[in-house]
Structure 1
Amino acid sequence: MTTPADRVDRGKAARKRVTRSAHADWLPPVDRPDPVAVLERQGRDRLPELLPIRYGRMSGSPFAFLRGAAAVMAADLAAQPNTGLTVQLCGDAHLLNFGVYASPERALLFDLNDFDETFPGPFEWDVKRLAASVAVAGRENGHPEAKVHRAVLAAVAAYRTSMRRLARLGELAVWYERIDAESLVPLLRCARRRGRAQASLTRARRRTSLQAVGKLTEVVDGRRRIVHDPPILEPAGAADEASLRKIFSDYRSTLSEERRLLLDRYRFVDAARKVVGVGSVGTRCFIVLLAGRNSDDPLFLQIKEAQKSVLEEHLPTGPYVHPGHRVVAGQRMLQAASDIFLGWMTGPQGRAFYWRQLRDMKGTADVAGMSPGGLLDYARLCGTALARAHARSGDRIAIASYLGTADTFDRAVTGFALKYADQTTTDHVALGAAVAAGVIRSAPGV
């Protein structure tokens, strides 16, 4: 059996593969793939009529570009040496993929909340994506460069110090670790930020299936239907609805017995295709309205297509053959508590999907409106949450040993993030040039 001392030695040995200061390096290689070509290749298996929406959203700003360019950054990270200290990666750990949601016990937790790209890989890839997103967001908000630097450094330092704290805990203590969103409000240094945070939590508590019914449905000829709001929300055609009804039973089989019993108490009402996010635009995504005891007892489920993770072509084969299973298993591994309706199945044409609740008190921070102090606090919180997630699946003792007590890693990754923010701006300009030249079509503002 490997002892804690052995794991400490493993972490220190990883410094010989990649020194901590080496993480500061970023210089695009001469054979770096064209970022627009990477996006176009990724779009080949997506719905072509929705791709202009994706490019329109990504064209909006460097941060929007970063959100949609997980495949671009994955290729860039893969071109660098890595530590070999593997965790279950989120795969897309930018600032807006953290947020609050309700646990099965109805407590509001703060955690990672997007797992489409989850895959086993070197821990620093998630840290670098988070750090780069802080740098891009800070610059986009017009913050002074010194304060951008401080916010990035805070995120990485929080990751390192949290991982070192978790390395000293027992296995069950780490597994039960969670970040209670309500407990965070008093920790904010500014009274105004405390007020805004409390208001955000209040709004999150209202984001339920019942609220979604009021926003996303209407009564037509005495029957409740999902509204028609093309191209963002379009009722499923007869063929799609028939397919969704058919695969519903396959999804049901991936739930535990008590959750199947709960699901069986709901009946199918309506379904629609929905465009979501930035990175996911073009994948097949549906929402399904179910009714329980009566029409005032709704449940909205979301069905998202699961494709290959953007990390897969750069890393050894993962443990899951089914992409939907990969997403669900990764989410359960990384989150402190997960949606009780998470499940997966194979749909028409052999496409993989996963199911989850559409709204379950979910909320995300308004990064675009953050002050320098607010961004620093939020970046620190995200770094803490990322360390907690990684500690569940990776060797936290080895990672903590690699990171060490000094801020060498923090400063190096901060240097990388600031350089990669420059790269993101350059890539965003390239996307705009491709749109202007007619190479790709863009539908801004949708």
Structure 2
Amino acid sequence: MENQIYKYSEEFARELDENDPLRGYRSKFYFPKVNGREAIYFCGNSLGLQPKSVKEYIGKELDNWANLAVDGHFFGEDAWYHIRKKSKPALAAIVGSHEHEVVAMNNLSSNLHFLMVSFYRPTKEKFKIITEAGAFPSDMYMLETQVKFHGLDPNETIIEIHPRSGEHTLRTDDILNTIAEHKDQLALVMMAGLQYYTGQLFDMEAITKAGHEAGANVGFDLAHAAGNAPLRLHDWGVDFAAWCSYKYMNSGPGNISGVFIHERHAESPELPRFAGWWGHDEGERFKMEKGFKPMFGADGWQLANSNVLALAAHQASLDIFEEAGIKNLRAKSELLTGYLEFLIGQISGDSGILEIITPKNKQERGCQLSLLVNKGGKKVFDALYEEGIVGDWRHPNVIRVAPTPLYNSYLDVYQFARILEQSLQKFA
């Protein structure tokens, strides 16, 4: 695969699809229509497609609710009292962890706030936070308000790392050097695992090591990395992470989030947290007594009882992930983005009309390529949509394109390139 030779032809794309061991998974998803025909959907980085099995999974829990009512918590298959456990094997495989280090709960922003209660503990000496410049707005707002909650000034507390002049992505050395430079005052490194705008996959292992050497905790927002990029959170020693399930994990708009908390924090009595009864020792939970006793691992950060219908939708997709295999999905992802990169090069040549601002090194990206459109801009994007391409526009002039290995084909990539070429000829 390293020396894959691509061709700009429909015949070649169809040949790749015929030899794709994952081609059958496309039929497990619903595709939206644009102007009356099935869309070429490259927007899994915003909202993944609906698995056709979701209705069955949710329907089963609706039947349990109808037939068992409150007894559904303790009786029947997948009794709700323990239903969170069902998602753990797939989640652990996706993020590279032990099962006790992950749990599905709440939503992403809520989870990051709760985790920072535990892992951002500023002191007079060590209080600063390092993050990437241009982080997703929710991350910026979370860090700003966490800092203010502790009575600190965001302008003096939050250090944003910018790309070098004339560059679009961050150099790992610059991140590590910034951590070392501020080590005496650094309390937390909190970044995206994969930058939403550029599609850059950060070296989380190196960042975690540097953060720990500086005496800081290290956490990641994996909204665009989970289910997309290879992760080994346990081995890397990451302190905490959280992700949503509605992008690459195809679990429905606004659906449940997940968290990772490294096992070394599993039973740290000195670690503060905002507790709820579902995080309390489940063997004693119904004694209804004072005195919070956290469950072992990530489960000890739960608050309310499980959202059963949300978990059902989530499980429909997770079962597909387990069947397809993370390594297989990653291999196809690299081929899809490699093919897309080749075709964009064929279209733009040295014209300067298009520039891929996502790193060329496949180890530094997931299945998203961000295209800087230097001529035509939004008109090019709108023309793509009229021809049935569902991508994502980001101001001022970037089109994000995410060929997702579970349901996108090489023919999708070829057809996108052909339509892009026509749109550029018209508007650029």
TM (norm. structure 1) is 0.26
Q: Which has the higher contact order (CA 8 A, sep 6+)?
A: 1
TM (norm. structure 2) is 0.27
Kindly indicate which of the two structures has a greater share of residues assigned to helix: 1
